Amino acid sequence: MSVRQKRKCEELDCEKTGRGSTGRCAAHGGVIQCEELGCDKSAAGSKSRCVAHGGGKQCEEPFCEKSARGSTSRCVGHGGGKRCEVLECVNSAVGSTGHCKSHGGGKRCEEQGCVKSASGSTSRCTAHGGGKRCEEPECDKIARGSASRCTAHGGGKRVKHPGCEATVLTVAVVAAATPDLPGTVVGASTKKQVLESTSI
């Protein structure tokens, strides 16, 4: 019985396997590209988007539009994908490691003596210049969330209350003190200002 030989990528000096009818590997455009503007990743499954932009198998959690990870049927936020190997840790394992970022998984900052995780596609942590920076001219702060700006320039998650443009800072909930603003989240250091601003 003859064994079918894998076709190599047509790109010069590339040893990876060609995909589909293109004759090229995924890295050299051998698959359908994500249709999201500016994204060069491969589309997943029968959709025309990559996993990061909603392609592939969807999370089974009601109303969740993110992609399920690995062999699981849920996204990372709902418990899917590979988890950290540290006992009682429920965070996701990062990359090819068996640990989450807090327990040493993923790429580390290249700054000498630093043990923090490298941020985004950079090789440094946010404290040492890594991660996505604010697009505001002359601002070198970290861009927050899916925005391209820091919290001071409109980036990050915002408080969901009519007329309020404050940024959600931490996971400290003051619902007990602000019954008219259920789910409002603020940092402990800003609790006083929030209470004053809401006239509680």
Burial of 148 (0-12, 13-18, 19+ CB in 10 A): middle
* φ and ψ at residue 101, rounded to 5 degrees: -60, -40
pTM of the model: 0.44
The pLDDT assigned to 200 comes to 39
Q: Which residues pair with 83 in a beta bridge?
A: 92
Between CA 149 and CA 141 the distance in angstroms is: 8
Contact 93, 77 (CB under 8 A): no
The pLDDT assigned to 182 comes to 45
> In which residue ranges of the chain is pLDDT below 70?
1-6, 19-22, 26, 29-31, 45-47, 165-200
The pLDDT assigned to 20 comes to 64
The pLDDT assigned to 185 comes to 42
For the chain, the farthest-separated pair of C-alpha atoms sits apart, in whole angstroms, at 81
Domain ranges in the chain are 18-78, 82-129, 169-200
Between CA 54 and CA 48 the distance in angstroms is: 9
The pLDDT assigned to 189 comes to 38
Between CA 183 and CA 163 the distance in angstroms is: 16
Contact 116, 109 (CB under 8 A): yes
